[in-house]
Structure 1
Amino acid sequence: MPSVIEPTLACLVGNTPLHWIGEPFAPAGRGFWAKLEGANPGGLKDRAALHIVQRARARGQLQPGARIVESTSGTFGLGLALAGIVYDHPVTVVTDPGMEAIVQRLLQAYGVQVETVTEPHPDGGWQRARLDRVAELLAEHPGAYCPDQYDNPDTVEAYSSLAEELMEQLGEVEVLVCSVGTGGHSAGTARCLRLHYPNLRLIGVDAIGSTIFGQPARTRLMRGLGSSIHPRNVAHEEFDEVHWVAPHEAVWASRMLAHTHYSTGGWSVGAVTVVAAWCARTLPAGTRIAAVFPDGPSRYYTTVFDDTYCRQHHLLDRPPAAEPDEIKCADEAEAVRWTRMVMR
């Protein structure tokens, strides 16, 4: 039986608003629609966490009261905290030292057990180190369930609701701009939209130093997008093009959003804005562009919106160029600033 509080909490997720982003990111009369997933209690991944847990329970993979164990850099952990309360499951998340203190404290306040790995894996970085610890914890807790957000197809399916909302709010979507980390929301939203609008153009936004689209792995400053592993949920065949964005470019966009539009967010929001704004400037006037903003600004007060942190990492007053660099294939050159690659 569902938890008696399920209907109350479930209604808090979804039906997120749209916000028009125009000048100064694009000339007067041009812009894009931002889907504000930060309006969910924990952000974009509330959708996936609730859906994955519900489906696992329905299939008998997750027994009543069993522990949920997962790797996360933050947002999916918040979603699992919500799912744990809704369905009455204890939750353990494995993270790394990059998790913001406010997120860790919130998770603990929600009753989540937080484990932090202390050393990156020599090949797979922090993500592989976290996943290795998840495997150890699953062995220590018989009957525990791992949602496996990186490879679980339920992650992709969860975002059909986001696509349906976009269609209700906008009608036809011609261009969809999404950050790419685990790959779930870009794949799920685009696939659902293309059932109705087969000419949809999907543009992925990755972080410099990420291996998802074939670039060499480097230490990454940005959290929430990019990866040092290769999640199976990334639907490479669905993307028309991909852009890599650098941290200083994302910081500039996030801060300019705050100053001019009030709706803003962290690394992913800034990076997506760089690319969606370029689309609004360069595509034919009237092109209907939607961009997914995964979360809001609150967890980034010690990074993106902290002048001391940004000065230490040389992130201030460095806006992106008017146009991205262009490469034809991922091994042509290493992206160190905003770079575009057309895939089809």
Structure 2
Amino acid sequence: MNSVVHAHLDPSADHPDAGAHRRPRPSTMVGNTPVLWIGEPFADHGRGFWAKLEGSNPGGMKDRPALHMVQRAKARGDLAPGARIIESTSGTLGLGLALAGITYDHPVTLVTDPGLEPIVHRMLSAYGADVELVTTAHPSGGWQQARRERVAELLDAHPGSWCPDQYTNPDNVDAYETLAHELVGQLRRVDVLVCSVGTGGHSAGVARVLRRFNPDLKLIGVDTVGSTIFGQPAATRLMRGLGSSIYPENIDYPAFDEVHWVAPREAVWACRTLASTHHASGGWSVGAVALVAGWIARTNSARAQVAAIFPDGPQRYFDTIYNDDYCDEHGLLDEVVPPTEPATIDHPTDRVVESWTRCTTVIDPSARSSE
């Protein structure tokens, strides 16, 4: 089951010194990540799901789109040699772009906000990136919109610079073809795919490829409470890496069969339980996805092959998810064990959800808002 498909990203292939030097570039560390069987206590005895451990990449899952978006921009001539790369990030894409900057010899400026973990801020600087911090959230678009507006200012200030714009860039979606082919090689068949949703890149890209092999694949989206992506009203969000206060264009709404919203305390329980039972865990997205994937495994046919994408590892969350003082301060340890199943609503606008909730009606709220 753990056979590997060698479908590497190979950004060194079009690097200026590729013909003269065949030494492996840092980017060759990306891809071919393992899968791990996750069983009890997330699923009943004998049942479970396969977790794709993208935290095995140097910076996490978004190393893949960071390298791919830069590679494609260079090939099209959108990104000139040595030009500055400028982008908004909550952390993981920033780590990937820092890697891409080293690989392709580009300076990188990353715009983030006060929610960025100190360890990530320090590592981004250590990797050679310039880190800009916005200090005031946009009144309606939150930190994401504030970061995007600062990116626009920096692009004007640096002629010739380039922004990947992960929210709208189709290369973000295309970058996950390698991940999908790795899953096919490792699992042979995927019946249900569970993905967190932020920019919409990996859910769209992986599902699109997997449906070539299994047209009946079900796609389950996992969001955070307080996110607007699937039609809930915007609210302050504690969880980073999933959710949004804007409507990313890369989200493939028709591809989803249902969506689940998960609260921070539920994700914390799942993250810590993963660590103590399987020695493989991660951040907010990993906890939310594990909670939902376990329920999917319990409630679907025992023959259904369930796969879940774990976008990162636990290291950057030692001061949040794995810190008792932080969790106590935010009331994240009040509920020792979350519900065994989600609440259900018929439509995303039925009520504001505050805890684990599912809905099989998936809407595109950006289309509704433009009517």
Question: Normalising by the residue count of structure 1, what TM-score does the alignment of the two structures yield?
Answer: 0.98
Q: Distance in 1 between matches of 2:310 and 2:89?
A: 18
| Structure 1 match to 2:139 | 122
C-alpha distance after superposition, 1:177-220 (max 9, x if no partner): 00000000000000011111100000000000000000000000
Which structure 2 residue ranges, 5 or more long, are not aligned?
1-13, 363-371
1:308 aligns with 2:325: yes
Q: Distance in 1 between matches of 2:211 and 2:26?
A: 30
Q: Distance in 1 between matches of 2:136 and 2:293?
A: 36
Q: Distance in 2 between matches of 1:266 and 1:82?
A: 20
Q: How does 1:88-127 map to 2 (within 5 A)?
A: 88-127=105-144
Counterpart of 1:136, as a letter, is: E
Report deviation, 1:8. Answer: 2.6
| Structure 2 match to 1:52 | 69
| Partner secondary structure for residue 289 of structure 2 | helix
Q: Distance in 1 between matches of 2:16 and 2:326?
A: 43
Preserved CA contact (<8 Å) 2:101 2:107: yes
Q: 2:158 aligns with which of 129, 132, 141?
A: 141
C-alpha distance after superposition, 1:194-248 (max 9, x if no partner): 1111000000000000000000000000000000000000111100000000000
Preserved CA contact (<8 Å) 1:46 1:78: yes
1:24 aligns with 2:37: no
Preserved CA contact (<8 Å) 1:239 1:343: no
Q: Distance in 1 between matches of 2:302 and 2:308?
A: 17
1:196 aligns with 2:201: no
Moved more, 19-28 or 249-258: 19-28
C-alpha distance after superposition, 1:132-184 (max 9, x if no partner): 00000000000000000011000000001100000000011000000000000
C-alpha distance after superposition, 1:49-69 (max 9, x if no partner): 000000000000000000000
Q: Distance in 2 between matches of 1:22 and 1:34?
A: 10
Counterpart of 2:329, as a letter, is: Q
Q: 1:323 aligns with which of 338, 341, 356?
A: 341
| Structure 1 match to 2:10 | none
Q: How does 1:161-200 map to 2 (within 5 A)?
A: 161-200=178-217
Q: Distance in 1 between matches of 2:274 and 2:37?
A: 11
Q: 1:152 aligns with which of 162, 169, 189?
A: 169
| Structure 1 match to 2:355 | 337
Change (3 A) 1:33 1:317: farther
Q: 1:213 aligns with which of 230, 245, 249?
A: 230
Report deviation, 1:26. Answer: 1.1
Q: Distance in 2 between matches of 1:317 and 1:289?
A: 30
Q: Distance in 1 between matches of 2:111 and 2:88?
A: 5
Q: Distance in 2 between matches of 1:220 and 1:330?
A: 18
Report deviation, 1:7. Answer: 4.0
Q: How does 1:202-241 map to 2 (within 5 A)?
A: 202-241=219-258
Report deviation, 1:4. Answer: 4.3
Q: 2:263 aligns with which of 243, 246, 250?
A: 246
Q: Distance in 2 between matches of 1:7 and 1:215?
A: 46
Q: 1:78 aligns with which of 95, 105, 108?
A: 95
| Partner secondary structure for residue 109 of structure 2 | strand
Q: Distance in 1 between matches of 2:43 and 2:295?
A: 8
| Structure 2 match to 1:2 | 15
Using the aligned pairs only, state the percent identity: 65
Q: Distance in 2 between matches of 1:90 and 1:136?
A: 17
| Partner secondary structure for residue 35 of structure 1 | strand
Preserved CA contact (<8 Å) 2:25 2:103: no
Q: Distance in 2 between matches of 1:320 and 1:204?
A: 19
Q: 1:65 aligns with which of 75, 82, 97?
A: 82
Counterpart of 1:40, as a letter, is: N
Q: Distance in 2 between matches of 1:235 and 1:27?
A: 31
| Partner secondary structure for residue 156 of structure 1 | helix
Q: Distance in 2 between matches of 1:277 and 1:172?
A: 18
Q: Distance in 1 between matches of 2:183 and 2:60?
A: 17
Preserved CA contact (<8 Å) 2:348 2:361: no
| Partner secondary structure for residue 115 of structure 1 | strand
Counterpart of 2:353, as a letter, is: A
Report deviation, 1:317. Answer: 4.8
Q: Distance in 2 between matches of 1:88 and 1:308?
A: 41
Q: Distance in 1 between matches of 2:343 and 2:192?
A: 20
Counterpart of 1:135, as a letter, is: A
Task: Output the aligned Cα RMSD.
Answer: 1.1
Counterpart of 1:150, as a letter, is: Y
Q: Distance in 2 between matches of 1:226 and 1:7?
A: 35
Regions of 4+ moved over 6 Å? none
Report deviation, 1:3. Answer: 4.9
Question: Normalising by the residue count of structure 2, what TM-score does the alignment of the two structures yield?
Answer: 0.91
| Partner secondary structure for residue 11 of structure 1 | helix
Number of residue pairs matched by the alignment? 344
